[in-house]
Structure 1
Amino acid sequence: MRRFEGQTVLVTGGAKGIGAATAARLASEGAQVVVADFDEAAATETAERIGGRAVRCDVTSRADVEAAVAAAAESGRLDVLVTCAGIIRDNLIHKMTDDDWEAVIATHLRGTFLAAQAAQAVMTQQGSGSMVLVSSVSALGNRGQANYSAAKAGLQGLTKTLAIELGRFGVRANCVAPGFIATAMTQQTAERIGMSFDDFQATAAEQIPLRRVGQPEDVAGVIAFLCSDDAAYVTGQVIYVSGGP
């Protein structure tokens, strides 16, 4: 399929994990992809692999985000925004520090707000565009993740509000909420609780109806659908990509 032929895509947090898989998937379908990430070396490596461009971007910085959007929209268009940038600072509520809370909220919520705000200025002018925000099943609550859960729940509300405000301009906004996906982030969680990553994945798989953990490509496929014209009448939705209900 070449659903994104001639389109320009910006993926924040695109250097690794779900972001990198999404960048690769959209590039494979014809998109010109700009990979924005705090880790410039990893972003460059991913961009070179898929034939895209890399920009260094701290998503908590308005200047960085606006520069990344401007770089993606050099041709005068920005067709797709996917916001994948994220961190975890897990701890129980009575142990969570101000820094733990603020870093996660700033990266996920502020970072996504800044990207959506900058992107919509381009998309509303051109009268088209699609945004996909990356939430998580943790939006429903998860032990040790008060900060992450709050941020991911906030992204679902932001998605629906963007859909309401931007729909009249031909701009769609949707959200994916992954479950257990095998990434560096879930490996961090395994390390935090003292389990090997293999054992952690095997234990998680036992609780998933499909009896396996997800891969970044599983999420990238859903994102590609939501960004494409196949989902032209889909906006304001949250799709859980979790291997079960």
Structure 2
Amino acid sequence: MSKVIVLTGAGGVLCSTLAMALAKEGHKIAVLDLRKEAADKVAEAINAEGGTAIGVAANVLEKESLDLAKEVVNNQLGTCDILVNGAGGNHPLGTTSNPFFQMEDLKNNSEGFKTFFDLDAKGIEFTFNLNFLGTLIPTQVFATDMVGREGCSIINISSMNAFTPLTKIPAYSGAKAAVSNFTQWLAVHFSKVGIRVNAIAPGFFLTDQNRSLLTNPDGSLTQRGQQIIDQTPMGRYGKPEDLISSTLYLCDDASAFVTGIVIPIDGGFAAYSGV
């Protein structure tokens, strides 16, 4: 049965892949992104392959912007059945330079060097808002279409950082932990009105946001990139396609009795102790 599926942040690598996969299942896709040109590009690719999609500009931190996007979706595709909250990201101002604090760090005056004590509150606020409020506000807007109907669900994008925080990125780890917690809370809150709420938690995937941190210009791995691979039993980064099957399952009626879960998709990263 065809459904109307709204994806935020769908101009990016991961959610654009999900959008195209869901379109191939016969669903109508609303590709939402802050960058209208990125959203249109994904929608055009879907339509070129015989699917149905529209690109819509939307700022997930502004309710007014999302209200306008919902109006476009409702007019062109119909009532929203499924929402995938894919917008998110990190900010360098909420990131420490070193994984461990050392006494000599107090005397390091290098330009751009940041200890925990140098973290910028605005950078942390940006990261938390983008990931947590960027999940909550779109849900407030689009879930109004779902209340009291059958087959409706919300899928949030958490992270393996939500289970065990990575070094250097406290703001992002904390924000994704909030997304996982909110997923469980919302699943309970909406349980009486027919809306299921779940999340997927990707491990390490190369995206436009982290590629320069994990790989060198020649394609080789940075030190941090190699450290990640060494801690991933399957020995590779995830591919965007690795997220498809779990997403399709959570969208499908096959998961009709599944709500409040967070599915790790991490190549065994969380299971490995390093020994």
Structure showing greater radius of gyration is 2
2:107 aligned with 1:107:
no
Aligned-residue sequence identity (percent) comes to 28
What is the CA–CA distance in structure 2 between the aligned matches of 1:114 and 1:16, rounded to whole Å? 19
| Equivalent residue, structure 2, for 1:122 | 145
2:210 aligned with 1:186:
yes
CA contact (8 A) 2:148 2:194 kept: no
| Equivalent residue, structure 1, for 2:74 | 73
| Equivalent residue, structure 2, for 1:94 | 117
- The structure with the greater share of residues assigned to helix is 1
CA contact (8 A) 2:4 2:78 kept: no
What is the CA–CA distance in structure 1 between the aligned matches of 2:245 and 2:218, rounded to whole Å? 28
CA contact (8 A) 1:25 1:221 kept: no
Q: Deviations over 1:49-70 (max 9, x none)?
A: 0121011111111111222233
Cα gap change, 1:66 to 1:197, in 2 (>3 Å): farther
| Equivalent residue, structure 1, for 2:100 | none
Task: Give the secondary-structure state (helix, strand or coil) at the position aligned to 1:54.
Answer: strand
| Equivalent residue, structure 1, for 2:25 | 29
* Per-residue deviation, 1:97: 0.9
Unaligned 5+ segments in structure 2 are: 48-52, 97-115
Unaligned 5+ segments in structure 1 are: none
| Equivalent residue, structure 2, for 1:18 | 14
| Equivalent residue, structure 2, for 1:46 | 42
* Per-residue deviation, 1:95: 2.7
Normalised to the residue count of structure 1, the TM-score between the two structures is 0.91
Normalised to the residue count of structure 2, the TM-score between the two structures is 0.81
* Per-residue deviation, 1:73: 3.0
State the AA in 1 paired with 2:210: T
State the AA in 1 paired with 2:177: A
Of residues 216, 219, 223, the one that matches 2:240 is 216
Deviating 4+ runs (over 6 angstroms): none
* Per-residue deviation, 1:206: 2.8
Q: Deviations over 1:130-166 (max 9, x none)?
A: 1110011111211111111111000011101111011
CA contact (8 A) 1:190 1:196 kept: no
Q: Deviations over 1:34-63 (max 9, x none)?
A: 000011111110111012101111111111
Cα gap change, 1:113 to 1:70, in 2 (>3 Å): same
| Equivalent residue, structure 2, for 1:59 | 60
Q: Deviations over 1:193-227 (max 9, x none)?
A: x7865314555323211111101111132112111
State the AA in 2 paired with 1:85: A
CA contact (8 A) 2:83 2:142 kept: yes
Compute the RMSD of aligned alpha carbons. Answer: 1.8
